[in-house]
Amino acid sequence: MTTEPMMTESTATGREDRTDLTTTYLGLTLPHPIMASSSPLTGNVESLLSLQEAGAAAVVLPSLFEEQVEHEAMAYGTLLESGAAFNAEAYDGYFPDLDDYNTGAEEYLDLLNAAKQELSIPVIASLNGTSKGGWTYYASELENEGADALELNIYHVAADPDETSAQVEDRYLRLVEEVKTEINIPLAVKIGPFFSSPANMARRLASAGADALVLFNRFYQPDINLETLDVLPDLDLSTAAEMRLVLRWVAIMHGRVDADIAATTGVHDGHGAVKLVLAGANVAMLASALLHHGPGHIHTVVSEMERWFTEREYSSLGQARGSVSQVSVADPSTFERANYMRTLTSYDHHG
């Protein structure tokens, strides 16, 4: 614990009349809802410390991917089967140094260990995969290494025309159940928006063991280079407008799904975070905005959020959370199709 979180304006200037931004997420009590989500910025101790110094309430480490773990397990299994490990001659010749081959997962555990040693804010580890299998054993390794909670990112592109939507959903649920059996720490499940019935899926994920839902994964869309005809991986950062998809579904799920809600994608400023809390989010996570502006942006976002609530004399965040969710607003259809019709038919007046 080398650095302490930066004081917010409220702690510096007397907080009696300031809104108390305390929130809870995954059983953790946080001073405010602004977290750093998985990104390269949470991938080394130096920038993790910068995020803490800027006031991040908690951090999510980059993911340990199923492919990383499976690759290592496979390599290890093959070596053992071949007997090479027990053959001194082979060992001297081609047998790779165990320290060298076992990189990804071991490095990840080292990062988690270092983060836990250096940071005083909660550290959430992340596993990223799509199928049940031996790799989920790493969930318990992450718990043993001190993770305060685990985020499971199920980043599945349902590209197989033979896989039905029911099978896709089942894949999610079985994976959540399996990971849940590995750990005693709280589990968040990060999903994309592409379900026929996202709110129903959310409910079933909560029943399968998700203590929180992280809405939504931002799927990276490939592009085609017209000169080379190569398929390009697209790594554009998000825009603030992308938050609207999240906002709608947070508002729809609040009060109806037995899980905390974290918002990710398009959270770029304090006002965006305010909207997500009003819709029902427990926390809001930032990646793109931090990569763009740097870790110090956390402080700007928290201050803007605090100012908004304080000026309107909210005593606490609890008073605000979900007050503009679908179950709370006078006209719930605004989050559904009625809004769509109204928006389209009123476009000319504003255009």
Ligand X SMILES: Cc1cc2nc3c(=O)[nH]c(=O)nc-3n(C[C@H](O)[C@H](O)[C@H](O)COP(=O)(O)O)c2cc1C
Beta carbons of 33 and 282 less than 8 angstroms apart:
yes
Pick from 265, 282, 310, 326 the residue near ligand X by CB under 6 A.
265
Does 50 interact with ligand X (rule: CB under 6 A)?
Answer: no
Region near ligand X per CB under 6 A, out of 23-31, 38-46, 109-117, 254-262:
38-46
Residue 40 sits in the site that holds ligand X (CB under 6 A): yes
Kindly list the distances between the CA atom of residue 320 and the CA atoms of 11, 255, 312, in Å, as whole numbers in the listed order. 21, 13, 11
Kindly tell me which residue out of 8, 52, 63, 310 binds ligand X, with binding defined by CB under 6 A: 63
3-state helix, strand, coil in the chain (%, to 5): 45, 15, 40
Question: Binding marks (x or -) toward ligand X, 175..194, rule CB under 6 A?
Answer: ---------------x----
Is 23 near ligand X (CB under 6 A)? no
Residue 342 belongs to what H/E stretch?
helix 337-345
Distance CA(337)–CA(163), nearest Å, equals 29
User: In terms of CB distance, is 39 or 47 closer to ligand X?
Assistant: 39
Phi, psi angles (nearest 5°) of residue 64: -95, 120
Q: Toward ligand X, which CB reaches closer, 8 or 63?
A: 63
* CB-based contacts of 174, cutoff 8 Å, min separation 6: 132
DSSP notation for 189-249? EEE-S--SSHHHHHHHHHHHT-SEEEE---PPPPEE-TTT--EE---PPP-GGGHHHHHHH
β-strand pairing of 231-232 with 223-224? antiparallel
Q: Which stretch binds ligand X (CB under 6 A): 32-40, 251-259, 312-320, 331-339?
A: 32-40
Binding residue for ligand X (CB under 6 A) from 62, 192, 209, 270? 62
Number of residues near ligand X (by CB under 6 A): 22
Rg (CA), the chain: 22
Q: Which of 238, 282, 310, 326 binds ligand X (CB under 6 A)?
A: 238
Among 153, 282, 310, 326, binds ligand X (CB under 6 A): 153
Among 257, 261, 267, 298, binds ligand X (CB under 6 A): 267
Q: 40-56 as b/e, with b when 16 or more CB fall inside 10 Å?
A: ebbbeeebbbbbbbbbb
Q: Quick one: 42 or 310, whose CB is closer to ligand X?
A: 42
Residues of the shown chain interacting with ligand X in the complex, contacts defined by CB under 6 A? 37-40, 62-63, 126, 128, 153, 190, 218, 237-238, 264-267, 286-289, 291
